[in-house]
Structure 1
Amino acid sequence: MKEPLSMSLSAQTRREIAQITALALLDIHAVEVAKDRPFILSSGVASPVYIDVRKVISYPAVREKLMGFATDVIDANVGRDQIDAIAGAETAGIPFAAWIAFETGLPMQYVRKRAQGFGPQAHIEGVWEPGQRVLLVEDLTTDGASKLRFCQALRAAGLVVKDVFMLFQYDIFAETGAAMDRAGIRLHELCTWADILDVAVAHNRFTKQERDIIAAFLKDPLGWSTDHGGARSLTF
């Protein structure tokens, strides 16, 4: 079990974590640029770029490094003494929650997308009790809508959830921050699309035209989506 950090991570350390994570995701080809037609995200937003963080589970060295980073960020930003258990979000969040639970020595549950049975407990698998302080773990966050639903399911069962950790956050939709603030939820990540683009430029990944398209999307994602046949707004 990894010992918790005694102080917050410096801005330089956070920047290094973001850059190393972004490069690792590029190296394992987790990032794909659209060719003939844009990707359509679950929110309906059209995007010129797609990321599959689940690929991390197939690369042990990358997985070990990123889970170490995850524990450092959680210890510094949330505090291990503020968490009683780790909850993985079905399905992509479950393996990462398991590794983080192992790293921190904390109990684990997982929360279902759809209830199995009846009552508030129908969404949750594992041993838990009302009042338990839970950290929700996911692979990534796009607009944050699914994170809100998972947190609502946990809260309905009497669990206390204020923080969500994911390896990757899009961090491009202003609406996401407002929705999380209203729900009393804080998001924590290793890197964002801005980090991916910075590292792609520094390491000459993708063509300049592809990087310019990604930059245009990040600057105005809903405008880009509208122009390419996708959703014009987000719904929470």
Structure 2
Amino acid sequence: MNNLEDLVVKLFDIEAFKFGSFKLKSGIQSPIYIDLRVIISYPDILRSVAVHMNEILQRSNVTYDSICGVPYTALPIASIICVDYKKPMLIRRKETKNYGTKKLIEGKFNQNDRCLIIEDIVTSGSSVIETADSLRAEGIQVTDAIVFFDRQQNGDNNLKEKNIRLLRVLTITQVLECLVKNKRITQEVSNDVQEFIRQNQTELPALKNGIIEMKSSSIPIRQRFQTIREEKKTNLCLCADLTSLDEIIELSKQVGPNICMLKIHCDILNDFSMEKIQQLKNISRTFNFLLLEDRKFADIGNTVQLQYTKGLFQIATWADLVTVHVLPGEGIVQALEQSVQSIDEPRGCLLIAQMSSKGALTNNEDYVKGVIKCTEKYSDYVIGFISQSRLTTDNKFIHCTPGIHLNNTGDQLGQQYVTPRQAIDGRGADILIVGRAITDSINRIKTCEEYQQEGYNVYEQLRNI
């Protein structure tokens, strides 16, 4: 089956291409259904698919150090290319192991290696993007992907937005022409499929696996948080007050499965760079947690806009959430919200209402009332509070409580601790912010797991009462 036309006909004969009326995962009815999983039962066809993909790679002069097949259908194709053409292979797990090394990417690689992604079918490109994010989170470069079959539903443009060039063996147009020519389908069927494709172009999803948000920011970031909490069963925010971004990156890989949010202070990092912060952002997408920059903005509108979007840190480009003092008045929230209108991802902020340090001046009744008032106009951008108690009965606002420790003691600098149960049951916390109890632990992974389990168990107990 060196002839591509013969391969298309054979794929039709083994029912990899089906025509009729099929309900897709999205719920819409499609006149075509493509299922390349069946090729694993036909070794000659499977090998032929791999051969044709490799021929495209040879003609395109793509340079890469390794290949990675998108799980699961593309894995057999990648394996054949690996063995037949002596190409080192990496495997991306669909889920992280909760034991051993907890690796998401298996195989041998070095920082800045270039990996080619192999996929069987591309519709929106979301599976390729998800795999690319996981690889990039490990410091691996991804610039190209090859697909056997492109449904021509805007996947190539979606991938281009993520700086990934798409190479392809076949398009749906080519397949339809071939099948009409070989009398496998009628021209009328071909026309119906082409019309369906024209009317059903895809938009780029930012996340998958139940945490889907469309390209625009029309879905509030609070919805993303709520889904993360329910899907991952965690209400734990890790406060990583470390001075090394490299250390934070490694820590986030270890505890990513256990947290819903990672809080950092970019201005205390000795090794900050946009390249490294992008790596951290990719890790947050891989493990589905929010990035919170604890900037504590507290200046006039024009200044905070510059602090948010410009300078060395360019916080708006990577932080899902930021913290804000409203001492200057509600104008500070308006300024920050305006700053992210051009950002093509949801953004939000947490208003600092109460702090966990002894004698904090923010713990003033009039100040807290002023903080709550700021949510009236900016409820799409303000998703909640940093607080020591529940400030409102409106459940759309989340309450994040710092100073959590399994032993409710304190430190020598005025930090006061409460236990997870005291925070959730007694104070109405939604999110537990835990810092040194984890980062100072001899076994950070185990300690993080303990806080995740304790915090979420209390949350579920109270929810079921």
- Shorter-chain TM-score: which interval? 0.7 to 0.9
* Secondary structure in 1 matching 2:143: strand
Residues 117 and 145 of structure 2 are in contact (CA less than 8 Å); yes or no, is this contact kept in structure 1?
yes
* Aligned match of 1:66: 49
Distance 1:69 1:207 in 2: 26
Counterpart of 2:107 (choices 103, 126, 129) is: 126
Whether contact under 8 Å (2:124, 2:158) holds in the other structure is no
The SS at the match of 1:160 is coil
Rounded to whole Å, the distance in 1 between the matches of 2:64 and 2:30 is: 35
- 1:192 is matched with 171
Aligned equivalent of 1:25: 11
Who is 2:180 aligned against? 201
Do residues 90 (structure 1) and 74 (structure 2) align?
no
Deviation at 1:91, TM superposition (A): 1.2
- Is the contact made by 2:180 and 2:186 (CA closer than 8 Å) also made in structure 1? no
Q: Any stretches of 5+ residues in structure 2 without a counterpart? A: 203-212, 216-465
Q: Structure 1 residues 222, 107: closer, same or farther in 2, change over 3 A?
A: closer
Does the 8 Å CA contact 1:22/1:195 hold for their aligned counterparts? no
Letter of the 1:29 counterpart: E
Paired residue secondary structure (1:216): helix
Give SS of 1:48's match.
strand
Indicate the RMSD between aligned Cα atoms, in angstroms.
Answer: 2.6
Q: 2:89 aligns with which of 88, 104, 108?
A: 108
Q: Offset at 1:220?
A: 2.3
Q: Any idea what SS the aligned residue of 1:168 has?
A: strand
* Matched positions, count: 203
Q: For residue 84 of structure 1, report the CA deviation from its aligned partner.
A: 0.8
- Does structure 1 residue 51 correspond to structure 2 residue 34? yes
Question: RCO higher in 1 or 2 (8 Å CA, sep ≥ 6)?
Answer: 1
| Local SS of the residue matching 2:185 | coil
Give the deviation of 1:140 after TM superposition: 1.3
Quickly say closer, same or farther: Cα 1:198–1:70, change in 2 above 3 A. same
Partner secondary structure for residue 54 of structure 1? helix
Q: Which AA in structure 2 matches 1:83?
A: Y
Q: Which moved more, 1:148-157 or 1:26-35?
A: 26-35
Query: 1:64, CA displacement in angstroms?
Result: 2.5
Runs of 4+ in 1 over 6 A off after TM superposition: none
TM-score calculated relative to the size of structure 1: 0.76
Code of the residue aligned with 1:212 in structure 2: it is: N
How far does the alpha carbon of each residue in 1:80-123 deviate from its partner, in whole angstroms, 9 at most, with x for none? xx1111112211111111001112201111112233349x9732
| Separation in 1, partners of 2:194, 2:5 | 17
Structure 2 partner of 1:13: none
**Hey, which of these two has a bigger chunk of helix by percent?**
1
Query: What TM-score comes out, normalization by structure 2 length?
Result: 0.40
Aligned match for 2:24, one of 40, 43, 62 = 40
Q: CA deviation at 1:135?
A: 0.8
In the alignment, the residues of structure 2 paired with residue 219 and residue 61 of structure 1 have an alpha-carbon distance, to the nearest angstrom, of 33
Percent identity of equivalent pairs: 26
Name the CA distance, whole Å, in 2 between partners of 1:148 and 1:45. Answer: 23
CA distance in structure 1 between the partners assigned to 2:118 and 2:201 by the alignment: 26
Gaps of 5+ in 1: 1-15, 224-233
Counterpart for residue 7 of structure 1: none
